[in-house]
Amino acid sequence: MVAFLSWYAFPPLLTLTIKKDLNMSTNDVANSNITSLLGTLVVRMLAGPLCDRFGPRYVFVGCLLAGAIPTAMAGLVTTPNGLIALRFFIGILGASFVPCQVWCTGFFDKSVVGTANALAGGWGNAGGGITYFVMPAIFDSLVANHHLTAHVAWRVAFVVPFIIITAIAAGILFTAEDSPNGAWADRHTVIDSLVAGEVSESSVKESGEKSEKADVEGSTEVTEIDAAQGEVIVAPTFKEAMGVIFSLQTWALAAPYACSFGAELAINSIIGAYYLKNFPKLGQTGSGQWAAMFGLLNFVFRPAGGLVSDIIYGYTKSVWAKKMWLLFCAITTGVFQIAIGITDSHSEATMFGLFAGLAIFLDASNGANFSIVPHVHPFANGILSGFVGGFGNLGGIIFAIIFRYNGVNYGQVIAIIGGISIGVNVLFSWVRPVPKGQIGGQ
C-alpha cells in the first residue's frame, strides 16, 4: 500500500501544480506516466525469478528501498525530462506487488489463497487512491500552515512517502519470516521429513494381507506427498522457466490481467484530469478527492473478487469455476468502460456512478485473476507472478500510449479499452486453467 502510495504520488499534484511549475506540456505529463509504468514492467519481470531463488521477503525489501531513494530525490527535479527520468526509477515501487503475492501465496492454503492474495493486492492498489487524498493534503498544509511557495511545497511533500516506505521496509527486514518454516532455505523441510517418515514406515511393514493393505494406503499417502512437493517453489532451470512463460495457461492469465490491472493503472493516471475537464469547478483538490474513490474501492472489491472465487472453489473444487468468475468480472468491466466512453457524462452523479461500477468489477477481476495464479505452475510461482504482474504494467503502458495520442478525449479511450478487454478475455476463455498432468496446484 505504501509502495503504491508513492508510486502514484505524482498524478494528484501533476494535474496543475507540478505541470505549471516545470512548464510541462500535456505530452510531457503523458510521457512521465508511461515511463513510470515502464520502470515497473522491467523490475516486475526480474522480481519473479529473484523471488524463486532468494525468497520474496528480501526482494520485497529491495524493491521498497530502491524505490524510496528516487522518491526522496523528487525535490531535485527542475525540468520535464528530469521528472520523466525520475518517475522511471520510482516505478520500481510498483514491482513490490510481485514479491507481495509470492510471499502471501506461500503462507495460505489453496482454499483461501484467493482471498489472502486479493486482500494484500487490494490494499496495495488502494494506495493509488489514498495518494489522491494524502499528497494534496500535505501540499495544502505546507502552503497554508507553513507558508511555503507551491514551488517548494510539492518538493517537500515527497519526503513523507520516503519516510513511510523506509520504515515499512525496515519492519519487514527485521521482524518478518520468509516462509511458514522460517528461513527461505528451510521452506521444504516439512515435506522432506514427511518423505523420510514414509520411507521408514514402508521398511518395517509386515507381509501378507496386512502388508498389501498398508501398501495401498501408503500409495495414497505418497501421492499426497508428491502433490505437496509440487507446491514447493524451486529455482527453475532456464528450460523450465521458458516452459512456464510460454504455456497457454500463463498467457490466459497474463492477457486478461493486462486488460484489468493495465486499465486501472492507465485510468488512475488520468482520472483526476478527466474529472477536472468535465467538472472544472471541482479544482485540483476536489477532482483529486473524487479520483481517489476509484482507487479506494480496492479496499473492498479486490478482496471481494478473491473471496467469491474461494467460495466458488469451496463448493465446486474446480479451477474452471474460478476462471468463469474471472471471465464474468472482466466482461462486465468492459461493458462499464464502453458506457463511460459513450456517455462522456457532464453529470457528476452519472459519471461518478459509472466509475464506481467500473471499479467494482475491475477490482474484482484483479482479485479473481490472482486467485487462480497459485494453482498454475506452483513450483515456479515467482516467475508466473512476475510475468502476469508485468503484463499488467504492459497493458498500462499500451493504454497510456493510447491516452497520450488522443489528448483530452479520455472517454473515447476508456471505451476503446473496454472493447479490447472484452475481446481478449473471450479469446482466452477456452484455455484450461491448469496444465494437463500437472502435479500440485489443484
Within-domain flag for 400: yes
Q: How far is 34 from 30, CA to CA, in rounded Å?
A: 6
Residue 340 domain-assigned?
Answer: yes
Shared domain for 201 and 262, answered yes or no, is no
Q: In terms of domains, do 104 and 49 share one?
A: yes
Decide which of 175, 204, 231 is a domain's last residue. 231
The answer to the question of residue 314 being in a domain is yes
Please indicate, yes or no, whether residues 15 and 149 belong to a single structural domain of this protein. yes
Residues 26 and 143 in one domain: yes
Q: Establish if 128 belongs to a structural domain.
A: yes
- Predicted confidence (pLDDT) per residue in 318-349, tens digit: 999 999 999 999 999 999 999 999 999 999 99
| One domain, residues 247 and 259 | yes
Q: What is the pLDDT of residue 189?
A: 67
Q: Do residues 161 and 9 touch, judged by C-beta distance below 8 A?
A: yes
Are 202 and 176 in the same domain? Answer: no
How far apart CA 30 and CA 39 sit, in angstroms, is 15
Rounded to whole angstroms, how far apart are CA atoms 302 and 119?
A: 7
336 shares a domain with 418: yes
C-alpha cell at position 347 = 453529470
The predicted-structure confidence for 140-192, as pLDDT tens digits, reads as follows 999 999 899 999 999 999 999 999 999 999 999 999 999 888 888 877 666 66
Of 255, 199, 226, nearest to 388 by C-alpha is: 255
Residue range(s) defining the domain that contains residue 367: 2-184+233-427
Q: What is the CATH number of the domain that holds 107?
A: 1.20.1250.20
| d(C-alpha 382, C-alpha 379), whole Å | 8
Same domain, 119 and 159: yes
pLDDT digits (tens, 9 = 90+) for 66-92: 999 999 999 899 999 999 999 999 999
Q: How many helices (H) and strands (E) does the chain have?
A: 20, 0
Q: Are residues 217 and 323 in the same domain?
A: no
Whether 265 and 140 map to the same domain: the answer is yes
pTM for this predicted structure: 0.81
**Residue matched to cell numbers 501408503:** 218
> What is the arithmetic mean of pLDDT over 292-300?
88
| Domain stops at, among 231, 254, 288 | 231
Q: Is residue 74 part of a domain?
A: yes
Domain boundary among 199, 231, 263: 231
Q: Is there a domain that residue 46 lies in?
A: yes
Domain count within the chain: 2
CB atoms within 10 A of CB 426: 13
Tell whether 62 is covered by a domain: yes
Q: What's the pLDDT tens digit per position in 239-260? A: 888 988 999 999 999 999 999 9
Do 129 and 244 have their domain in common?
A: yes
Residue located via cell numbers 493509488: 128
**Are 295 and 267 part of one and the same domain?**
yes
Closest CA to 395 of 257, 258, 256, 266: 258
In-domain check, residue 287 = yes
